[in-house]
Chain A
Amino acid sequence: MFTLGLIGLLVRRNLIFILMSLEVMLNAAGLAFVIAGSRWHQADGQVVFLFILTMAAAEVSVGLALILQLYHRFKALDADAASEMRG
């Protein structure tokens, strides 16, 4: 799942899709934590997953706000449009 998310991040150009792939990656990491916690019969895995969830929520809201700004600025949701920091 994680690698799938990575693939999606690298391939898609639409910013929304990039964010979605990011969510997939986060989710996959959380899954790994929970399963690990469940294997060792400890609560820590779930706790970490809670934290990840919180973080994902905050990140999504901020990220979507940024996407809105970018959309107003560039009139498109192209990830390659914002490449003015070119070398």
Chain B
Amino acid sequence: MEATFYIASAVAVIATVLMLTRLNAVHALLYLIVSLLAVAVVFFVAGAAFIAALEVIIYAGAIMVLFVFVVMMLNLGLRTEEMERRWQPSRAWIGPLALAAVLLAELVYLLTAGSGPAQIAGSVEPKQVSIVLFGPYLLGVELASMLLLAGLVGAYHLGRRAPEKPEDRYGADSDERRAAAGGDLVHAGSDRPARTP
């Protein structure tokens, strides 16, 4: 079991590193998916099988797919490779690396300052998780659903493109259309040219 854990975490880290350094967006995305899958394996080893499944289905399956859609839509593939290369001189890595190194050291220190190496004390059953969900964390569940709703509405609204052609600005039968056509209810029609009053 332990070997799986180490191998999987190694894969996850390496995949993440490779993801960061790719110039092609699609390649990076694929590496990210690999990383996520490796993390799912780690979850499984840690006894959270339910979570591992969720990770694969939702994270790697839905969220990453969303990413892929957007990347495809914006056509960020070969076209932008040259641009990416230009945008990242090696100099730019120094600062963040230093910062992250310090942070890593702090985190490692914090995590290992406590008691000794932890044992995985067995798996936590999904049944246990769901009991907890409906118990103490009920409110959290409701809030999470509201969050999803908000995300949905926001994404729809933000993703809408303002129509470019004047004809599309109004709906086919809207009041604005009628007003633009001269305000004549009887003779209003989309094929009638607008009369200047």
Using a CB–CB cutoff of 8 Å, the interface residues on chain A facing chain B are 1-14, 16-17, 19-21, 23-24, 27, 31, 34-35, 37-47, 49-51, 53-62, 64-69, 71-72, 77-78
Task: Tell me if A's interface is mostly helix, strand, loop or mixed.
Answer: helix
Using a CB–CB cutoff of 8 Å, the interface residues on chain B facing chain A are 12-13, 16-17, 19-20, 25, 28-29, 32, 35-36, 39, 42-43, 46-48, 50-51, 54-55, 58-59, 62-63, 66-67, 70-71, 73-74, 76, 80, 84, 87-88, 92-93, 95-97, 99-101, 103-104, 107, 118-124, 128-129, 131-133, 137, 140, 144, 147-148, 150-152, 154-159, 161
| Given known A4-B17, A31-B43, contact A43–B70 (CB-CB < 8 A) | no
Cβ contacts under 8 Å, B58 to chain A: 53, 57
Give the CA-CA distance A16 to B117 in the complex, in Å. 37
Residue of A nearest to B94 (CB): A11
Cβ contacts under 8 Å, A24 to chain B: 16, 19, 32, 35
The tally of CB-CB contacts under 8 A between chains A and B is 191
Give the CA-CA distance A20 to B70 in the complex, in Å. 12
Give the CA-CA distance A57 to B153 in the complex, in Å. 13
| Given known A47-B137, A64-B70, contact A38–B48 (CB-CB < 8 A) | yes
